[in-house]
Structure 1
Amino acid sequence: MRPIVPTVALLCCFMLASFTGSSQPGNGNSSDRMFLRAKLYNAAGYILDGNAVAFDDDFSNGYDRDDAVKMMNPGENLGMRRDGRTLAIEARNVVTANDTIYYDLRNLSIQTYEIKFAAKYMHTVGLVAVLKDNFTGIQTPVSLTDSTFFFFTVTANPASKAFDRLTLSFLSPMAAAVLPVKFVSTTVKRNSGSNSISWVVAEEMHITHYNVERSTDGRSFKTVGRVAAGGNASGSAAYDYTDVLTDASLVFYRITGQDKDGRHNYSKIVQTDAAIAAASLSSWPNPLTGPQLQVKISGVAQGNYQLALTSMLGQKVYSSTQRIIQGTGLLSISLPAQVVNGQYLLSLTGEDGSKLQQQLIIKR
């Protein structure tokens, strides 16, 4: 038997046991009433919280006296959202295709959790239950005849502890077997002034397009781009999208695969690395009085760059190719002796055409 954390969760578990026993709300015969219970455990195996759903046509799908509002724990909470309320016990009609349970997770910490799902008398509904993790994009079948153990991890990414991370949908066997698309991988790479998002998919079933969605907090997303699908139903396909940004703030991305019937799947949520400093080019001494010029390059993407010195008349008096690693470079340049005194433009040009410039005065 697993240990129990002595909090409100203990009372909740007693309520669930009572609710799923012989004395239950509703007016009909409860001997074969359908139930789905969920219990939340921490990494040490302690039970933290739980909830239950009862399915019977004697119940309504709205909030009423047969439902129980959740008493919040000081620690982790696993409730369900219905009509603007968070419930510990929900009584609703017999489940039908496309019904959804919206779980509500609160006060999670960085660790791996386990949820145990236990169904009772639900094998007769002829449906398939699928748990969607909106953070990872992974969909997990939940047995309606036996127990299912689902593990999920909360990380430093704030999106991993979103209250609406988990939803459970009831689908027809055909709909569950033909999900619109399977996301194999999703990555993001930060560049200077843009982010490159790439994803690989398999089993594109009637997918029409992919929406690229961006968020600043990992919770609220908006569509920033659209990529047409290739329609490769049997193999894999790779896609990419460049999101041009005016700042270097931390951002999150996810991809939505949309099919012609309006169904969609989410990829896992990915986030950019720490913000890149604004790109800059500086040199010293300035004015230059000797043959050696020190050049510092910061905040640029890794790659090859052309460093050039051009007179005010447009004559290029110096040019070299420089390889910049990890966005920063410190160079020592020996200028030719024939470069005369005057005003010059020092420039750094990237492979993508981006350019940094600084005025340089030579007095030798």
Structure 2
Amino acid sequence: GRRRGLNRGPDDAVAIISTMLYPATGPLKDGNRVVFDDAFSDIIDRNDAIKTANAGINFGLLRRNTSLAVETKSALKATDTLFYTMTGVPVGDFRIGIAVENIQPNGLTAELVDKFTNLRTSVSLTDSSFIHFSTTSAVASRAADRFMLVFRKSLVVLPVNFVSISARRQADRNIAIDWKVANEINIVRYEVERSANGVNFTGILTKDAAGTLSYAQTDLSPLAADNFYRIKAIGLGNDVTYSSIVKVAPLPGKASIAVYPNPVTGNTINLVFTTQPKGSYALQLINVEGQLIYKGSVNVTGENFNHSIKLGEMAAGGTYQLTIRAEDGSSKTIKVMSE
């Protein structure tokens, strides 16, 4: 069809939804984009970009049996649905990132529908959302049409719309989880769910619905490593809506240089560097008579770095002084005992 031009003033903004597919950790694999404007039509024409297949993972949009990388549509409305198509996805853990630009919700809500798990996850129309999922040996988990993004009038379809969710670590190391909702209709309670990997979640806290816009709970026993959180809203008919997922990173380890075990065994000194600057460290070991027993260096390359010093015969019950000197001239001396 004939290409349509957009005659815009400097303050006009294009409404866009970009959907990207990532592994659970790692860089973007593929993605697609939808542009909404009444200057476009809902038929496939020259304004749409046909999807060119990649050698690996492909994540596009499907319209009239045609795979698109960019889809142009008339202005967003309550009857719209984006049909995703994915191919070449191996078994593993992944996340879908949905970014919105210049979308005016006007009473609309969006849900990502997962046909494999039968879950419907609320997607923000004012901020970015990330939804984690897994593929398995089950063919249906890797089905091309597993996902679609459905738009509806909020008061008609969704009893609650998650406006935002946040999680932050407190000074006492507990984690505070806050969420805001809109259109809270026929909701019985909320459950805070936690995960170590962003895929498998378990309910840890419950909050009864109170007809307010904001809620808060505190995880008093967070995991030592990563903590992923999401909110599960449960309605009168046991219908379920999920929020987006947020992540709280682990606490950084306390900086230290230590010998473990001490007293040492087997004439081997095991040095443990924790959260130390990367670089070369000079090592010097002397005995109680001031004699040099060992001199060397180690190149520390990570936040948790181990280095072993293999020595000749160490005197049983002997006492030594191990000096570790960094490139900036700072040093630390550790009293080392031998069994």
What band does the TM-score fall into relative to the shorter chain? 0.3 to 0.5
Q: Calculate the TM-score normalised by the size of structure 2.
A: 0.45
The structure that has the greater radius of gyration is 1
Q: Calculate the TM-score normalised by the size of structure 1.
A: 0.42
